Amino acid sequence: MVKLAVVIATLLTAASICAAPLTDEQRALHVLNRLGYGPAPGDLQQVQAMGVERYIDQQLHPERIALPAALNQRLDALRHNEKTPREMLAVVRPGPLMKLDAAQQQEAQREIYKDAAQLSHQERLYRAIYSPRQLEEVMTDFWFNHFNVYADKGLTRVFVTDYERNAIRPYVLGRFRDLLGATAKHPAMLFYLDNWESAAPDFQGKNKRVQGLNENYARELMELHTLGVDGGYTQKDVTELARMLTGWTFDPRASFFGGGSYTFDARRHDTHGKEWLNRHVEPRGQAEGEWALDVLAASPVTAHHISYQLAQYFVADEPPASLVDKLTQRFINSQGDIRAVLTTLFASPEFWDSANVGNKFKTPYQLVVSATRAAGVQVNNVKPLTGALYQLGMPLYGCQTPDGYKNTEAAWLNPDAITRRINLATALGTGRLALSRPADSDASAPMGKGEIEPLDPVTLANTLGPALSDKTLASIQQADPNLRAALMLGSPDFQRH
């Protein structure tokens, strides 16, 4: 470890940025890095052979790309014994027919939450590592962060897998309004931001308890999901929107009560008129909230906010204003067609500007997935990967605040983070990450000699291609051969994409 840290310390300068026009190989690497999680073995050659334009078009239409049989088998196996949210609620919020004492109830809840977390982690990571629909995976991560929910807040644990699978994933390249509506009505969001309990001031719940108005979701809906923090709205607008969304809820009771799905509870709704964004809103029940989502999704301010975030994610931490303006206009003209906006982005001169190649610092999630893909290893047990994400400060579904994880260098580059990244590179490069063990085994147990298979540095270098600069390769060539693969994965070049 000491030797590796010393060698990497000599390399800790920003990765070289291409000043000359990109070669075909560099262009292929660029789309693999930005539209996906970097190259797996053979990907560079495959994209060069088909051409980057065809690859981009393929990625923008993931429905045309067949999933590998092995990945489908993995996903089917995960779902074989999966419990639905309603079935989990029957244990977590049992009805009067459930006969469990307090200790039994607590243990049953613990197992439900544990199983739900394992399923969500495995499904996300298997897809990100093995799916050829890489842009779909990237956008699933992007939109989950945009519409973030924290998995460890109460009943949100029950709904996270379903939230990503049914409220995020189907809409990642569709229309923004559809995505906005799906997240607004999902129990994961309703519970996480407390809208499920929000009610008109005079509503009385159980035991005649007045629950009152909750503004959390209404505030984040405008501040984070649509208009942005400087979107031109006032505190009164937040309150009025919260009033419009009263009654948007779900029943958390057990399955035989029909719990677990969105419902509009007219009893909770504030039936008085509202004044929102300089508009008078007549009482119309659920239609008030639907209309508000229409207005927010169609706003040019929302178009700019989303366009900035996409440009920041795919191009630069401080994206060019020219690009943001182009994307904003495309968003407006296409009525929020995400695929159309990304088509404009990937064809833009800014995306292909050599100054924007290799300039993004990988988030821990991008690092873990890209390193695993590049290594080409068989992953049966994702626990070492979820553990690494926790150590790197980015546990899956673990962002407590509604703004989600950042994707900028300032958020993730610090001395402690570099040390932890080196530890990950060392474990993966030397074959000491217990990824091949069965999924239900203890991945933290010491590795036996027969389990340790160091990565071949020649194969890894061929996989990464121009991702590694000549300077980096020359330095690595002087190192112990058993450390070369680890040095590649821990190099400053690999920390960027």
The predicted-structure confidence for 331-346, as pLDDT tens digits, reads as follows: 999 999 999 999 999 9
Residue 400 lies in a domain: yes
Q: Does the pLDDT of residue 1 top 60, yes or no? A: no
Collapse the DSSP code of 337 into the 3-class scheme (helix H, G, I; strand E, B; otherwise coil) and give the result: strand
| Same domain (yes/no): 77, 142 | yes
Residue 272 lies in a domain: no
For position 21, what pLDDT does the model report? 87
**How many C-beta neighbours within 10 Å does residue 104 have?**
11
Residue 53 lies in a domain: no
**Interval 6-40: pLDDT, tens:** 445 444 444 444 457 899 999 999 999 999 999 99
49: CB partners within 8 A, 6+ apart: none
Question: How far from the centroid of its chain's Cα atoms is residue 274's Cα?
Answer: 35
Collapse the DSSP code of 188 into the 3-class scheme (helix H, G, I; strand E, B; otherwise coil) and give the result: helix
Q: Does the pLDDT of residue 135 top 90, yes or no? A: yes
| Same domain (yes/no): 347, 414 | no
Residue 138 lies in a domain: yes
**How many C-beta neighbours within 10 Å does residue 480 have?**
11
Buried b (16+ CB within 10 A) or exposed e, 114-126: eebbbbbbbbbbb
Beta-bridged to residue 283, according to DSSP, are none
Residue 366 lies in a domain: yes
| Same domain (yes/no): 349, 367 | no
**Interval 56-82: pLDDT, tens:** 999 999 999 999 999 999 999 999 889
Instruction: Calculate the average pLDDT of the chain.
Output: 92
For position 209, what pLDDT does the model report? 66
| Same domain (yes/no): 417, 458 | yes
Rg (C-alpha) for the chain, rounded Å, is 24
Of 173, 199, 215, the domain-final residue: 173
What's the pTM?
0.94
Residue 186 lies in a domain: no
State the Cα–Cα distance between residues 60 and 342, nearest whole angstrom.
Answer: 8
Instruction: For residue 99, name the pLDDT band (cuts at 50, 70, 90).
Output: low
Of 319, 336, 356, the domain-final residue: 356
Q: What percent of the chain has pLDDT over 90?
A: 82
Question: How far from the centroid of its chain's Cα atoms is residue 317's Cα?
Answer: 18
- Is the Cβ–Cβ distance between 357 and 30 less than 8 Å? yes
pLDDT mean over 428-441: 92
**Interval 167-199: pLDDT, tens:** 999 999 999 999 999 999 999 999 999 999 999
| Same domain (yes/no): 431, 409 | yes
- Is the Cβ–Cβ distance between 240 and 270 less than 8 Å? no
Q: Give me the number of domains the chain comprises.
A: 3
For position 13, what pLDDT does the model report? 41
Question: How far from the centroid of its chain's Cα atoms is residue 138's Cα?
Answer: 7
| Same domain (yes/no): 465, 388 | yes
- Is the Cβ–Cβ distance between 79 and 161 less than 8 Å? no
| Same domain (yes/no): 363, 489 | yes
Instruction: For residue 207, name the pLDDT band (cuts at 50, 70, 90).
Output: low
| Same domain (yes/no): 306, 423 | no
pLDDT mean over 433-450: 85
pLDDT mean over 465-473: 96
Residue 52 lies in a domain: no
Of 331, 356, 381, the domain-final residue: 356
| Same domain (yes/no): 90, 156 | yes
User: Which residue is it, tokens 């990571």?
Assistant: 125
pLDDT mean over 285-310: 98
pLDDT mean over 266-275: 96
User: Which residue is it, tokens 């590795």?
Assistant: 447
| Same domain (yes/no): 330, 367 | no
CA nearest to 403, candidates 225, 232, 241: 225
Residue 101 lies in a domain: yes
Q: Does the pLDDT of residue 314 top 50, yes or no? A: yes
For position 266, what pLDDT does the model report? 96
Token duo for residue 107 = 């243990």
Longest dimension (CA), the chain: 75
| Burial category of 45 from C-beta neighbours within 10 Å (exposed 0-12, middle 13-18, buried 19 and up) | middle
| Same domain (yes/no): 391, 470 | yes
For position 252, what pLDDT does the model report? 85
For position 14, what pLDDT does the model report? 40
| Same domain (yes/no): 406, 307 | no
For position 258, what pLDDT does the model report? 54
Domain hosting 334: range is 300-356
Lowest model confidence (mean pLDDT) among 108-112, 148-152, 320-324: 108-112
Q: Does the pLDDT of residue 112 top 60, yes or no? A: yes
Concatenate the DSSP letters of all residues of 368-431 into one string: HHHHHHHHT---S--HHHHHHHHHTT--TT---STT----SHHHH-SHHHHHHHHHHHHHHHTT
- Is the Cβ–Cβ distance between 57 and 346 less than 8 Å? no
Token duo for residue 141 = 């991560």
| Burial category of 432 from C-beta neighbours within 10 Å (exposed 0-12, middle 13-18, buried 19 and up) | middle
Backbone angles phi and psi of 100, in degrees to 5: -125, 140
